């Protein structure tokens, strides 16, 4: 969290993390499409020719809450194995994480591997998933099967973090994931920095302002309840030992895209 006292500006960094091709960039694109055109900033993506994220994507969302200017800076990490150092750098100073898992049954181990990779990279940055607001999104629901539905249900039963299913290509579940994370993030920073007491920020107002930035936001969040724990470590499902080989597939030249207003 950054707070600029002179300008009364609060900046929060939200990182979309997960395995390669799980749909992190697609989440940001879908979100971009659902931000009121008059209010949205630039979605910046830097991809290889085959649309793999090379460094990161970024999308800002700026709104007023009380007499504060709030800037949510959304980032995605590149999922390819060889970009681990970039993933670590993007995590620096993260205030919240949306973990985008892939629902395809064949990707179960990959999800686990990247969850552990995230935990490790957070640790190197002096952060811990135990103290960071986070949600899990099982994206590509359309490619999941009964075993995926079971895994999602099991994770929900554990109740360690909000769990969403999504089809990011069609926008399904994208706003729900984001809004739940915004709520959790507010709870956490309020608890740590006493935003309510010190800056007069109010959660309902904060969330409402974010919703106002969106086109047709989903009905009020029924997902989170005040008694729900903010964050805890998820015990990953047991899977085979992770494959640590870092391969370096041939890279295609990057293409930078900026989606304007």
Q: Which does 143 bind (CB under 5 to 8 A by kind): Mg ion, ligand GTP, none?
A: ligand GTP
Q: How far is the CB of 164 from ligand GTP (least distance, A)?
A: 12
Neighbours of 83 (CB within 10 A): 20
Q: How far is the CB of 1 from ligand GTP (least distance, A)?
A: 25
Residue of the chain from 22, 27, 53, 104 that contacts Mg ion (CB under 5 A): 53
Contact call for residue 104 and ligand GTP (CB under 6 A): no
Q: Indicate the burial class of 3 (C-beta count within 10 angstroms; 0-12, 13-18, 19 or more).
A: middle
- Total site size for Mg ion, rule CB under 5 A: 3
Contact call for residue 22 and Mg ion (CB under 5 A): no
Nearer to Mg ion by Cβ, of 27 and 161: the residue is: 27
Q: Which does 169 bind (CB under 5 to 8 A by kind): ligand GTP, Mg ion, none?
A: ligand GTP
- Contact flags string 163-182 toward ligand GTP, x per CB under 6 A: ----xxx-------------
Which residues ranging from 39 to 78 are in contact with ligand GTP (CB under 6 A)? 51-53, 76, 78
Q: How far is the CB of 171 from ligand GTP (least distance, A)?
A: 9
Choices 22-30, 67-75, 127-135, 197-205 (CB under 5 A): range interacting with Mg ion: 22-30
């Amino acid at each position: 969290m950054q707070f600029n006292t002179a300008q009364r500006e609060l900046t929060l960094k939200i990182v979309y993390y997960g395995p390669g091709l799980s749909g992190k960039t697609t989440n940001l694109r879908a979100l971009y499409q659902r931000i009121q055109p008059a209010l949205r900033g630039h979605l910046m993506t830097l991809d290889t020719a085959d649309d793999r994220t090379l460094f990161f994507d970024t999308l800002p969302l700026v709104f007023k809450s009380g007499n504060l200017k709030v800037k949510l800076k959304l980032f995605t990490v590149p999922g390819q194995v060889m970009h681990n150092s970039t993933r670590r750098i993007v995590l620096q100073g993260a205030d919240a994480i949306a973990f985008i898992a892939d629902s395809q049954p064949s990707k179960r181990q990959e999800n686990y591997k990247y969850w552990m990779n995230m935990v490790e990279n957070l640790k190197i940055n002096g952060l811990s998933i135990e103290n960071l607001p986070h949600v899990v999104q099982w994206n590509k629901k359309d490619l999941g099967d009964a075993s995926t539905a079971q895994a999602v249900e099991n994770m929900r039963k554990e109740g360690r973090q909000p769990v969403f299913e999504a089809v990011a290509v069609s926008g399904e579940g994208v706003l729900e994931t984001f809004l739940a994370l915004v709520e959790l993030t507010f709870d956490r920073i309020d608890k740590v920095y006493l935003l309510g007491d010190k800056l007069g920020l109010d959660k309902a107002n904060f969330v409402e302002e974010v919703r106002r930035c969106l086109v047709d936001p989903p009905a009020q969040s029924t997902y989170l309840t005040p008694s729900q724990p903010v964050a805890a470590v998820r015990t990953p499902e047991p899977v085979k030992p992770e494959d640590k080989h870092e391969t370096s597939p041939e890279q295609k030249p990057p293409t930078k895209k900026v989606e304007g207003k």
